[in-house]
Amino acid sequence: MGFLRGEGHIWSNVQISMERARLGLKSESTRTRLGFVWWILEPLILLVIYYSVFGHLLRIQVENFAVFLIIGVTFWTWFNKSVMNCTDAIYEKKHVLEHCKVDPLIFPLTSIFKDLAKETLVVILLLALLCAIGFTPTWLWLYLPLIALVQLIITAGVGVLVAGLIPFMPDLRILISSALQFMMFASGVFYAKDNIPAEFRFLLDINPLASLISMYRDVLMYGRAPAIPDLLILLGGASVVFVLAVLFLARNKNSYAMALSK
């Protein structure tokens, strides 16, 4: 019975977070002249920078490097931005937590759903671009929602945990930023596994984001189905991280107001 009550409570938080995300996106789109167009322009600017550096200056030897890079940057940026946006999701809600009895889980989930909506738009444009340059959609593209679901759970688990830790250790955000930067270079965003020395390839093997990005490329570029056992392992690990992160917030939800008032 306790589990069912907890499950219902989480679902209630998810519904509230989705509505807050919708309202937040609506407000965000009206605060700039470009509105929602900026959600697309930002990753495009990053893509141009990375392509200039890795495609032209460093001349990474990967077949069809532009598409290779677009896929890597698209899905890495989703993870990176979601985690970074979660760092202050609870930390910035000091006054709310001091004066209202609200579950802190709502705040990182709201941030995650907002980034999910933006990423959905970017992925739709990515698929349209692939079709425009000659990549024919196949039934393998049906794997994309499953891979994205695993990435969403990984992102939610890491994001919720980060959001829950920062109020107690504010300086941790510096380490998180540095860790994400290192993780980006160990995720195969800019190069294939064959482009790096053999002694460093284990970094891609142990990095779940590297595995997911490789699966996206297999489906979209190479016409290969992802390894389902590997995907299920990632799903299981991601689910464990998410559950532990939610339990951490639940255990400390009455401590955040005090921690943030120091």
Cα distance between residue 77 and residue 119, in whole Å: 9
Predicted TM-score (pTM) of the model is: 0.86
Tokens at residue 1, please?
């019975």
Instruction: Please give the Cα distance from 108 to 115 (Å, whole number).
Output: 11
Average pLDDT estimate for 133-153:
93
* pLDDT greater than 80 at residue 6: no
The band of 38, judged by pLDDT with boundaries at 50, 70 and 90, is low
Name the band, by pLDDT with cuts 50, 70 and 90, for residue 51. Answer: low
pLDDT tens track for 163-187: 999 988 888 988 999 999 999 888 8
Residue 1 has pLDDT above 50, yes or no: no
Confidence of residue 36 (pLDDT cuts 50, 70, 90): low
Using pLDDT thresholds of 50, 70 and 90, give the confidence band for residue 41.
Answer: confident
Tokens of 176: 């998180």
Mean pLDDT value across residues 108-116: 93
User: Is pLDDT above 50 for 4?
Assistant: no
pLDDT at 93: 82
- Please provide the DSSP assignment of 121-188 as one string: HHHHHHHHHHHHTTPPP-GGGGGHHHHHHHHHHHHHHHHHHHHHHTTT-TTHHHHHHHHHHHHHHTTT
Q: What is the pLDDT of residues 195-239, one digit of tens each?
A: 788 888 888 889 999 999 999 999 999 999 999 999 999 999 999
| d(C-alpha 220, C-alpha 71), whole Å | 8
Q: Confidence band (pLDDT; 50, 70, 90) for 3? A: very low
Domain boundaries, the chain: 2-260
